[in-house]
Chains A and B, each alone.
Chain A
Amino acid sequence: MKKDQLKKWLEPLETAWVGVATHKLRSSLTILGIVIGVGAVITLMSIGRGAEAQILTNIQSMGSNLVTIRPGAFTFGGVRGGTSETLTMEDAEAILRQVPYISAVAPSYSSNLQLVVGGKNTNSQVSGVTTDYMSINNMKIASGTLFSEQDYQRGTKVAVLGSSVAETLFGNANPIGQQMRMGTIIVHVIGVLESKGGTFNSPDDAILIPLTAMQQAVAQPLTPQGGRIVSNITLTVSDQSQTQNVIDDITSLLRSRHRLGPGADDDFRIMSTEEIASTLSQTMGTLTLLLGAIAAISLLVGGIGVMNIMLVSVLERTREIGIRKALGARERDIWIQFLIEAAFLTFAGGIIGIICGWVVSKIIDSIGVMTTLVTPDIVILAVSVSICIGLFFGFYPAWNASRLNPIEALRAE
């Protein structure tokens, strides 16, 4: 009895296999269409996932308890409203004094300055920072030293460079001890930062000098009230669970310091690393889906290929269908036979596609073009979509086959 049950399931599979195996070239080309589709979905989505993971690591390396305050109201359309020069040194000092759970505050003032190194003349963004800036941003020195509290107090003209900036400016030469002209002042390079990689807010591109030295290079602008304007304020929260409270406290403090009425919009924007991370991973998730959707078009084309082949196959085997019907096959038997064939083609394509997609994404990863990450959900998605496509596009030809009139089918050549 059990053996009979097994047979009942195995026989349609065997029939489908014979159908596939008797047309090897045609079946393999059909499978190839699905392989390309599934492979493309997996490769492209793994690129998206890889980028997502890399950005999250970058943010983590920035320090996960970081809060950044930038000037200007920010609306989600991406349009900044109001004046962009609202944060001051005095704000930063007030925050450190008045808001609890803050371990360090680092205001910075950035400006585009002309740099002259040897004969070379470039323009680059230079940031005037405090000594806390480096520790808050998790920056580590690779060679030389960071500037000291003393350097900061005295306004010593020294600079610490990001790794890629150092390479751009000095090539292979050791930049430590070298001189560079920065606007009106001349600074000595005393250190180079450890490379962190990544493209988002990368410290590799930073040129850091003491904020006090910066004030000698360019006149730091003042607010009408006489506050010294800064570009942004970065701070670390000592207790991560208090991040939201810290943000709320800073908001009310700054609102009162900036004399904003109850109805007025904030003239600054506060973001925590967590918030940035979640916004970015959301964006990257959308990107991954978009890449997947583009690849899914080729999967769709593959599915249409399956349907095409199944229609041809039904037409070509009309007589076989007639014979089977004469032997007592019900519509359901014929229907299942052709549906299994279509499902078999797409399933085989799906499996081979996974392997190909995985191999391609590993190759992309290993030659260092992009970071890729094949996650189980991508694989499950690709396979289930390919099987659904097989069943969907196999349904119509199979239904056509099952509806054939046995007498006419037997007469077919």
Chain B
Amino acid sequence: MIRLQDITKVYVMGRQELTVLRGVTLNIERGELVAIMGPSGSGKTTLLNLIGCLDKPTSGSYYLEGREVSLLSSGELAQVRAQKVGFVFQTFNLLPRLSALANVELGMRYAGGSDRSRALDALAKVGLSDRANHRPPELSGGEQQRVAIARALVKTPPLILADEPTGNLDSRSGEEIISVLTSLHAEQGITLIMITHDANIAHHCQRIIHLKDGEVVSEETI
């Protein structure tokens, strides 16, 4: 499903060039549950952003479902994001003025339009039916992250990307989130890629990719 070939990413900051990824080659099959681990600054988030079409590689090619996406325009990339990718962020990134339900509906907004009943279904799947009309500030961290997951899965994308989804949560909420994510993966066959620092969480996954200084240093299959 995902095929990265010799991907590099160089950021230019003033006169300095910062090479974040140096020739990453990676294949991820449909329905896989993959963890990406590595020390900070190793390029994990950059890699996830590239996979999620939020950014373009400096060189190399990226095939998503057989389609070369590294050459697409920003508008076409936006459409790929809208149709194919659900993001779950460490900091939740919900809109604080909107209710949980409206936040979930926003997940469908650019993928063909909102549908209230589907949004309610998605909230039910993460166990938050009774919180639909609460705003994010009225919810606990774990609940906010579940709203974010509902927002990512409401448009039933083939791919969900999670950047340290438990990083801002206490361990109990973190476990809840991981069990929600893994059960979604198990039930719906969604391809799930998640960045984590936590080896215990990584061991819930089928494969762990270790990144260091912008290169894949090792892969382990569990």
Q: Tell me the A residues contacting B by CB distance below 8 Å.
A: 4, 7-8, 11, 18, 22, 319-320, 322-333, 406-407, 410
For A327, the chain B residues whose CB sits under 8 A away are: 81-82, 87, 106-107, 109-111, 151
Residues of B in contact with A (beta carbons under 8 Å apart): 49, 52, 54-55, 74-75, 78-83, 85, 87, 89, 93-95, 97-98, 106-107, 109-111, 113-114, 151
- Contact between chains at A410 and B110 (CB < 8 Å): no
The residue that B110 contacts in the complex, of A320, A328, A406, with Cβ under 8 A, is: A328
**Chain A residue nearest to B111 in the complex (CB):** A328
A323 & B110 in contact (Cβ 8 Å cutoff)? no
**Cross-chain contact of A330 among B55, B79, B85, B87 (Cβ < 8 A):** B79
* Residue in A closest to B83 when the chains form the complex, CB atoms: A328
B52 cross-chain contacts in A, Cβ below 8 A: 326
Taking a contact as CB atoms under 8 Å apart, the answer to whether B75 and A331 are in contact is yes
A contact residues around B106 at 8 Å (CB): 323-324, 327
Chain A binding surface SS class: helix
- Of the listed residues B52, B55, B106, B111, the one surrounded by the most CB atoms of chain A closer than 10 A to its CB is B106
Give bound CA distance, A79 to B59, whole Å: 80
17 additional A-B pairs beyond A327-B87, A410-B89, beta carbons within 8 Å, are A11-B109, A11-B113, A323-B93, A324-B110, A325-B81, A326-B52, A326-B93, A327-B107, A328-B78, A328-B79, A328-B80, A328-B81, A328-B85, A330-B79, A331-B74, A331-B78, A410-B93
Number of A-B contacts (CB under 8 A): 66
Least CB separation from B110: chain A residue:
A328
B193 to chain A, nearest CB (A): 15
Docked complex Cα distance between A410 and B85 (Å):
16
Instruction: Identify the closest chain B residue to A317 (Cβ).
Output: B95
Are the C-beta atoms of B81 and A407 separated by less than 8 Å? Answer: no
State whether A329 touches B113 (Cβ < 8 A).
no
Closest to A15 in B: B109
* Cβ B110 vs Cβ A330 within 8 A: yes
Known: A8-B113, A11-B114. A323 touches B95 (CB 8 A): yes
A8 to B80, CA, bound (A): 19
Nearest CB in chain A to that of B97: its residue: A22
Enumerate chain A residues within 8 angstroms of B114, measured Cβ to Cβ. 7, 11
Q: A407-B55, A410-B89, A410-B93 are in contact. Are A325 and B113 (CB under 8 A)?
A: no
Name the A residues within 8 Å of B85 (CB-CB).
328
User: How far apart are B50's CB and chain A's nearest CB, in angstroms?
Assistant: 10
Q: A325-B78, A328-B78, A330-B78 are in contact. Are A407 and B111 (CB under 8 A)?
A: no
Give the residue name and chain of the A residue nearest to B112 (CB).
A4
Contacts of A11 in B (CB 8 A): 109, 113-114
Q: Closest CB-CB distance, B91 to chain A, in whole Å?
A: 9
